[in-house]
Chain A
């Protein structure tokens, strides 16, 4: 069950890590869902065409990055509201992909290709036979290891490099950057593109795990990734834990089908219910504060 959860966790985690960077830069990227969907589509199509998982994933990343770049132009250069822009990107992805799919393959529905290459399981040259630990560490698909490695990389980048310092600063006080001769827009743009890269990669891994592209294959995972950012206290390791908790909830709800006397629909909505509860708890914890002043100055 743990192994299964880790597999479900990986795409959410990677998308959330990208989203974390842009959130820390002061741009809450609500288009993660749409970016993931785009990455998934691009990855499946290119993998099928070239037979190369690597090329497929890279294309997914590129597609996410390009769409995020568009997001940055609309929000930073044209000064549009980031939530409206994010919403627009989501709608563009959900409307645009069936259109392109229809043009290319004559269907708006499931894309299944013959001889599809699947994500390989990672085989280590060494192994040991401690039952529980073995299942935890070995035999996962590449995304799991990638996700954990990226968590470390994002942590290193955010907290140990000047780029990360600037990202964290621009989110907290862009004027502080400007007055030190740096460009807040530049760092925000890079952060948004990184969130596109994360979501594109996450989407690609999600689809290549199954080897097919289904309409709405992400089914809200982009939104769950968004919640994981906050639930993880906007820190890489926290995001890892939050993403795992969601994945575990999904695994449990799937495993419980037919065993527990609860309707499947209720069980399957467990991760989403968890999302709502998590968000409410998080907001309640953040609320409060100074109620003395009746009017802001």
Chain B
């Protein structure tokens, strides 16, 4: 650390606020950050904590609703990435933007092409410059390869190389190690140290705390769009950071859940976060699993999205599946709902293999699905409430192949009343609140007489009352001997509802927790991939 405290910071962000109206969330609320020369700063937080948003603001890719950016003490505005680039601020995005069919060198010099005779691109100069930089920083990048044939870790390294070509003063790296092998991570960290020693400022967005301790000088923790803590790396610990990242029960944003717990259950177990959550069934019901997936793997090219995942759920139990987004939850959702056929492994119900069945046949077998993506996958937004409700039902509603108005209204009114949908049947779904849309989807899915119900993020964007309703409904289904799969990145939700909890990390099941093993901290550690360190330290095998 060669930070001089009397030197004005290179860049300062003050009270950056950004709201995405379409999501109705504050992506950033009054976030302030200081960026100093020669320092490696880590920005940690769960997905959706607002790390990338604030960095996009700094890189000129997003304009903030309010707040200031100070360059060397002087206020400035970035209207376009070019303004930030001109100020020496470059960001390597989590998904680097390249033109896949072009070669590495063409992608890297795009915008700063060296010109030769007749105004044509001086290809030799470009390749020489890239090769020189790649050699200096030990990057195994061949400038003549096409981007589309590179492994994703190489794509990332190429993107970093592209940023270095532009000689940045501030280099922002968004999850650069995600696709990297251990060796590549070492290489990258060596590079980062080298750059910091040259006096550049580096910002590393990550949620891997081990990396923070390996490389960063300072760490800033974000949660729910707010900058919650800033620490020098020597003054903090992994457990402090992971608590700060995931949050404790007494935090503002879990108020709704606490209220809900108070309403449903004795609040005692909620006070201490390290105790198992309420409603623990120490003895899980025995019996053969009703629905399971076995050794499921899914690839995108050579990149594994899911590797060898096996999970099962019995009637009358709730299997919670959690993890940080981009660790495979969404692909698991696709496989168990029949939306995607896995590359290997199988999906089984009643000992019957249904891996290749269509989503329609999944439903016929009594597998209902309440998807994360309600607006596109879950419902037809331009169709009316009634049309959405009857999508899965024909029996008893038609007479000679034509829908019977009376039976339709009877059926829909019944669902509407039972699920408390407060909207007229003729209203297009688009006009409804998020809670009511979710109720429509829920009632439609349950109208098939489901034996297995898959919920993915069932409470996203719902207000307190609707959440309460959804949770009550999930518990009621469980008590009616339905097998429930609950996919959720919300630890509180998972803890308060599930009988068994599977934690996903990098496309695999990191652990399955039952009974007293299900503590917030253990889940958080497995989510963040800290289990190896922890298992070694406490010598406590996972169940």
Determine if chain A interacts with chain B.
yes
Q: Are A169 and B99 in contact (CB under 8 A)?
A: yes
B74-105 contacts to A, CB under 8 A, are: 80-82, 85-86, 91, 93, 97-102
Q: Are B119 and A175 in contact (CB under 8 A)?
A: no
Q: Are B80 and A181 in contact (CB under 8 A)?
A: yes
Q: In whole angstroms, how far apart are the Cα atoms of A166 and B110 in the complex? A: 7
Q: In whole angstroms, how far apart are the Cα atoms of A173 and B148 in the complex? A: 13
Q: Is B358 in the interface zone, CB < 8 Å from A?
A: yes
Q: In whole angstroms, how far apart are the Cα atoms of A166 and B113 in the complex? A: 10
Please tell me the number of chain A residues within 8 Å of chain B, measured between CB atoms: 24
**Among B85, B110, B338, B340, contact of A177 (Cβ-Cβ < 8 Å):** B110
A143-202 contacts to B, CB under 8 A, are: 156, 160-162, 165-166, 168-169, 172-173, 175-183
Q: Is A261 in the interface zone, CB < 8 Å from B?
A: no
**Among B85, B339, B341, B377, contact of A181 (Cβ-Cβ < 8 Å):** B85
Q: Are A293 and B340 in contact (CB under 8 A)?
A: yes
**Among B97, B101, B121, contact of A160 (Cβ-Cβ < 8 Å):** B121
Q: In the assembled complex, which residues on chain A have CB atoms less than 8 Å from the CB atom of B80?
A: 178, 181, 183
Q: Chain B's nearest CB lies how many Å from the CB of A86? A: 25
Q: Are B340 and A169 in contact (CB under 8 A)?
A: no
Chain B interface: which size bin?
A: 35 or more
Q: Are B82 and A175 in contact (CB under 8 A)?
A: no
Q: Is B334 in the interface zone, CB < 8 Å from A?
A: yes
Q: Chain A's nearest CB lies how many Å from the CB of B502? A: 21
Q: Are A162 and B121 in contact (CB under 8 A)?
A: yes
**Among A156, A162, A179, A293, contact of B113 (Cβ-Cβ < 8 Å):** A162
Q: Are A165 and B121 in contact (CB under 8 A)?
A: yes
Residue of A nearest to B123 (CB): A160
Q: Is B543 in the interface zone, CB < 8 Å from A?
A: no
Q: Are B93 and A179 in contact (CB under 8 A)?
A: yes
Contact with A along B54-88 (1 / 0, CB 8 A): 00000001000000000000000000111001100
Q: Are B99 and A176 in contact (CB under 8 A)?
A: yes
Q: In whole angstroms, how far apart are the Cα atoms of A28 and B340 in the complex? A: 33
Q: Are B110 and A180 in contact (CB under 8 A)?
A: yes
Q: In whole angstroms, how far apart are the Cα atoms of A28 and B12 in the complex? A: 44
Given contacts A161-B121, A294-B358, contact A168 B93 (CB under 8 A): no
Most chain B beta-carbon neighbours within 10 Å: one of A173, A181, A182: A181
Residue of A nearest to B84 (CB): A181
Q: Is B120 in the interface zone, CB < 8 Å from A?
A: yes
Q: Are A172 and B340 in contact (CB under 8 A)?
A: no
Q: In whole angstroms, how far apart are the Cα atoms of A161 and B82 in the complex? A: 21
**Among A161, A166, A292, A297, contact of B330 (Cβ-Cβ < 8 Å):** A297
B357-406 contacts to A, CB under 8 A, are: 358-359, 377
Residue of A nearest to B359 (CB): A294
B99-119 contacts to A, CB under 8 A, are: 99-102, 106-107, 109-113, 115, 119
B330-359 contacts to A, CB under 8 A, are: 330, 334, 338-341, 343, 358-359
Interface residues of A (CB under 8 A from B): 156, 160-162, 165-166, 168-169, 172-173, 175-183, 292-295, 297
**28 A-B pairs in the complex with CB atoms less than 8 angstroms apart:** A161-B120, A162-B119, A165-B102, A165-B109, A166-B111, A168-B99, A169-B99, A172-B99, A172-B100, A172-B101, A173-B100, A175-B97, A176-B98, A176-B107, A177-B110, A178-B81, A179-B61, A179-B81, A180-B112, A181-B86, A182-B110, A182-B111, A294-B339, A294-B358, A294-B359, A295-B334, A295-B340, A297-B330
Interface residues of B (CB under 8 A from A): 61, 80-82, 85-86, 91, 93, 97-102, 106-107, 109-113, 115, 119-121, 330, 334, 338-341, 343, 358-359, 377
